[in-house]
């Protein structure tokens, strides 16, 4: 393809092999323009191309050709690319997977083609309204309208939008991140976590213990035993389910505590908040011993011996894969799947139970927060505010003494 440059290479005149006309191309104000000169003679084509190029320059000076703005979709693609690589060490693969799913399913269809500088609080409000309308339409029934997205769902999506805008700010595409908060209802109700009360917790572990002897599924006894010990272990350690899943035999030590003179477990935990140590209640010791013996028996059956046996045993998981269907089945049978406020209970509820029971017993909030790898603010907002034992009646029920009647003078 023959090409001729003009204006120090800013304008190109070229002719394709299958065309008799000369074409021209130029980049003006960050945009690439092309046109046909409709001329077969090179000199005439150059004259036409020169007039065309100077006309483009004039339109640019008059503001008729504006440099295209970066879109939210462009910023989102760059952010997702960076998140896949840089967030691997601090976020789980599931977090990245769900973030991309929310982006492509809800956020990008609404914001993708919009200029990044045009996004403001009003547009975020339009997005909230549209998401609510779509979800309510999908979940509507003949009996009534559907439910809008959960508050936590919308909060996560707004966080992803803010992350993209922060990335665009770092690239210099926008000067600042706009305020994305709602103008009202910014403070939600402080609800109690989905825990088991002392009576419900006793009902649960009684049911899991009964399942060991009365379970009808053949060859499933070890699974029933693991479920029973899982419930007791979690409610006496306060671990998160993912932390329990990562727990290996070498991470658990049985020790005699000097302060309480009781036998407890010392746990080396790796999970959501990184690495930390935690100490259990005495009620976790026997369930762990039973779990340890079952895992040891499974390795013996595999034929391992000596140093190889010890090496494999130390790295053996304390818990096998959590049987969620069995746990939910027991909850439904005992009518414990939902609490009185309609919150669905999960394995996480055992952690909430541990924290609530510790506070009911008068444990120090700071120590509970450190032991569970959470913040004092989280404990105060979602647990301590709902524990009646934390209210001191001697400081509340104070009555002002009645003034003494004055004796008449005289």
How much is the mean pLDDT over the chain?
Answer: 87
Mean of pLDDT values over 291-308: 85
User: Does the pLDDT of residue 238 top 80, yes or no?
Assistant: yes
User: Which has the closest alpha carbon to 39: 25, 51, 22?
Assistant: 22
End-to-end CA distance of the chain: 126
pLDDT score of 300:
85
Which of 3-17, 45-59, 275-289, 293-307 has the weakest average pLDDT? Answer: 293-307
The tens digit of pLDDT for each residue in 127-157 reads: 999 999 999 988 888 887 788 888 888 989 9
**Strand, coil or helix: what is 256?**
strand
Contacts made by residues 290-294, CB under 8 angstroms, sequence distance 24+ = 290/225, 290/229, 291/226, 291/229, 291/233, 291/318, 291/319, 292/249, 292/318, 294/222, 294/225, 294/226
The tens digit of pLDDT for each residue in 359-388 reads: 888 888 899 999 999 998 888 887 766 666
The tens digit of pLDDT for each residue in 102-119 reads: 999 999 999 998 989 889
Which of 136-140, 179-183, 240-244, 346-350 has the weakest average pLDDT? Answer: 179-183
Mean of pLDDT values over 345-354: 93
Which of 178-182, 222-226, 335-339, 372-376 has the weakest average pLDDT? Answer: 178-182
Q: Exposure pattern of 3-28 as b/e (b: 16+ CB <10 Å)?
A: eeeeeeeebbbbbeeeeeebbbebeb
Strands 274-279 and 262-271: antiparallel
| Band (204; pLDDT cuts 50, 70, 90) | very high
On whether the CB atoms of residues 55 and 11 are closer than 8 A, the answer is no
The tens digit of pLDDT for each residue in 4-41 reads: 999 888 899 999 888 889 999 998 877 788 999 999 99
Neighbours of 123 (CB within 10 A): 17
Query: Percent of the chain scored above 70 by pLDDT?
Result: 92
Strand residue runs (E) in 210-261: 252-257
The tens digit of pLDDT for each residue in 53-65 reads: 999 888 888 877 6
Structure tokens at 317: 């998981």
User: Does the pLDDT of residue 66 top 70, yes or no?
Assistant: no
Alpha-carbon distances, residue 120 vs 24, 123, 177, 247 (angstroms): 40, 5, 9, 45
| Band (306; pLDDT cuts 50, 70, 90) | confident
**Strand, coil or helix: what is 143?**
coil
| Band (159; pLDDT cuts 50, 70, 90) | very high
Residues with Cβ within 8 Å of residue 132, at least 6 apart in sequence: 148, 149
User: Does the pLDDT of residue 76 top 90, yes or no?
Assistant: yes
pTM assigned to the model: 0.64
What domains are defined for the chain?
2-61 (no CATH), 72-170 (1.10.150.130), 198-390 (1.10.443.10)
pLDDT score of 232:
96
- The C-alpha atoms of residue 68 and residue 77 are separated, in whole angstroms, by 18
- The C-alpha atoms of residue 347 and residue 321 are separated, in whole angstroms, by 13
- The C-alpha atoms of residue 365 and residue 294 are separated, in whole angstroms, by 35
User: Does the pLDDT of residue 410 top 60, yes or no?
Assistant: no
pLDDT score of 150:
85
């Amino acid at each position: 393809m023959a090409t001729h440059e003009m204006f120090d290479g800013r304008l190109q005149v070229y002719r394709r092999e299958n065309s008799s006309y000369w074409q021209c191309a130029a980049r003006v104000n960050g945009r690439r323009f092309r046109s046909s000169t409709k001329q077969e003679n090179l000199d005439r084509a150059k004259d036409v191309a020169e007039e065309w190029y100077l006309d483009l320059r004039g339109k640019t000076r008059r503001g008729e050709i504006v440099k295209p703005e970066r879109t939210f979709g462009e910023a989102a693609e760059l952010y997702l690319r960076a998140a896949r690589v840089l967030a691997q060490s601090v976020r789980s693969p599931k977090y990245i997977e769900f973030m991309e799913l929310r982006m492509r399913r809800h956020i990008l269809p609404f914001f993708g083609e919009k200029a990044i500088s045009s996004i403001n609080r009003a547009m975020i409000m339009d997005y909230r309204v549209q998401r609510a309308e779509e979800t309510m339409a999908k979940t509507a029934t003949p009996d009534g309208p559907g439910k809008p997205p959960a508050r936590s769902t919308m909060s996560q999506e707004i966080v992803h939008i803010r992350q993209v805008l922060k990335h665009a700010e770092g690239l210099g595409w926008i000067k600042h991140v706009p305020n994305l908060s709602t103008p009202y209802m910014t403070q939600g109700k402080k609800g109690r976590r989905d825990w088991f009360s002392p009576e419900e917790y006793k009902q649960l572990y009684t049911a899991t213990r009964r399942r060991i002897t009365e379970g009808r599924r053949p060859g499933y006894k070890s699974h029933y035993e693991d479920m029973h010990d899982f419930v007791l272990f979690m409610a006496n350690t306060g671990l998160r389910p993912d932390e329990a899943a990562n727990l290996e035999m070498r991470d658990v030590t049985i020790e005699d505590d000097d302060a309480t003179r009781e036998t407890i477990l010392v746990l080396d935990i790796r999970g959501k908040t990184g690495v930390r140590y935690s100490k259990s209640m005495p009620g976790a010791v026997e369930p762990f011993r039973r779990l340890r013996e079952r895992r040891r028996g499974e390795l013996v059956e595999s034929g391992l011996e000596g140093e190889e046996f010890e090496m494999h045993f130390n790295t053996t998981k304390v818990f096998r894969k959590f049987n969620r269907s069995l746990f939910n089945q027991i909850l439904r049978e005992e009518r414990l799947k939902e609490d009185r406020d309609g919150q669905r209970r999960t394995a996480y509820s055992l952690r909430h139970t541990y924290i609530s029971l510790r506070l009911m017993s008068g444990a120090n909030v700071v120590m509970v927060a450190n032991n569970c790898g959470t913040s004092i603010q989280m404990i105060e907002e979602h647990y301590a505010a709902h524990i009646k034992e934390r209210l001191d009646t001697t400081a509340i029920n104070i009555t002002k003494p009645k003034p003494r009647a004055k004796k008449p003078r005289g």
